[in-house]
């Protein structure tokens, strides 16, 4: 474990040097290498934890309960596999590793392990290769409603976009991509009946996204990505993701 920390320190130190010495594209690629190193560390830390306790194992996911009933964990594991196939068809991308997932039996249980989000009613979270889900019962939802309106497909889309861009993706864009897939696959449209007045500008979305009104920010992100799909098609969007992974910034890729 100490060896892993040393590797991370070396990578981050190198990134700091590169920030001052190289052009933006080279820096983006170098930053991507550092991000991948941290993701590998997080992946092995999560899978080691999962291997030491009871889990539900599926072909592409390792799912661990944190206070959730075994039946619910099994149901959500099946939804994850379904999302794997659906999003795989959309992006022609099928990760060949087992993806770690934590399922929380209540919001309190989620906040216990994700203290930075304490007090926020979060249905799901994707962070550095790991998916976190809160059970449908915490939101008075059936599993069927949870599939269409819940976080499973959304968070898995984040993982795929992260992989396809090498982590070189702006927050508003990955949120818009996830919301678009909910709309594309399930017909679920975020903020469909919201008042369009006082919409955020793209510059505002690219600023401090997390500080914005979430409903308005997510709605605008969805609409922009929907427009990108309309103008470029699925193959065009996949090409944008490839350009991001090659080190281009989003403006250039678009």
Predicted model pTM = 0.83
Place of tokens 């490839």: 242
Average pLDDT, the chain: 85
Extended beta strands in the chain, E state: 56-57, 61-66, 99-104, 124-127, 130-134
Q: pLDDT tens digits, residue range 39-59?
A: 544 555 555 555 545 689 999
Q: pLDDT tens digits, residue range 10-42?
A: 444 544 444 455 555 654 544 544 445 455 445
Q: pLDDT tens digits, residue range 115-149?
A: 999 999 999 999 989 999 999 999 999 999 999 99
Q: pLDDT tens digits, residue range 51-89?
A: 545 689 999 999 999 999 999 999 999 999 999 999 999
Do residues 179 and 216 make contact, with C-beta atoms less than 8 angstroms apart?
Answer: no
Do residues 166 and 36 make contact, with C-beta atoms less than 8 angstroms apart?
Answer: yes
Would you say domain 54-153 falls under CATH 3.40.30.160?
A: yes
More confident residue, 163 or 7: 163
Do residues 67 and 104 make contact, with C-beta atoms less than 8 angstroms apart?
Answer: yes
Residue 182 has pLDDT above 80, yes or no: yes
Q: Is 58 helix (H, G, I), strand (E, B) or coil?
A: coil
pLDDT of residue 50: 53
Residue 17 makes CB contacts below 8 A (sequence gap 6+) with none
Q: Report which DSSP code applies to 67.
A: B
pLDDT of residue 24: 57
Residue 36 makes CB contacts below 8 A (sequence gap 6+) with 166, 167
């Amino acid at each position: 474990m100490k060896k892993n920390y040393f590797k991370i320190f070396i990578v981050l130190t190198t990134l700091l040097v590169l920030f001052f010495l190289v052009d933006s594209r080279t820096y983006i690629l170098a930053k991507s290498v550092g991000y991948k190193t941290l993701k590998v560390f997080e992946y092995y830390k999560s899978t080691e934890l999962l291997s030491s306790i009871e889990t539900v194992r599926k072909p592409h996911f390792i799912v661990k309960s944190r206070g959730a009933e075994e039946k619910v964990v099994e149901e959500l594991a099946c939804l994850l596999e379904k999302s794997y196939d659906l999003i795989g068809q959309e992006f022609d991308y099928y990760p060949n590793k087992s993806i770690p997932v934590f399922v929380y039996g209540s919001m309190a249980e989620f906040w216990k392990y994700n203290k930075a989000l304490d007090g926020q009613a979060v249905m799901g979270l994707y962070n550095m290769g790991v998916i976190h889900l809160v059970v449908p019962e915490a939101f008075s939802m059936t599993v069927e409603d949870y599939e269409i309106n819940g976080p499973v497909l959304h968070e898995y889309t984040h993982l795929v976009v992260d992989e396809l861009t090498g982590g070189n993706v702006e927050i508003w864009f990955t949120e818009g991509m996830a919301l678009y897939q909910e709309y594309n696959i399930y017909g679920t449209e975020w903020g469909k009946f919201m008042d369009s007045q006082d919409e955020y500008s793209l510059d505002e979305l690219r600023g401090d996204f997390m500080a914005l009104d979430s409903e308005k920010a997510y709605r605008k992100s969805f609409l922009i990505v929907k427009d990108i799909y309309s103008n470029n098609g699925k193959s065009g969007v996949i090409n944008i993701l490839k350009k991001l992974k090659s080190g281009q910034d989003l403006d250039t890729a678009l």
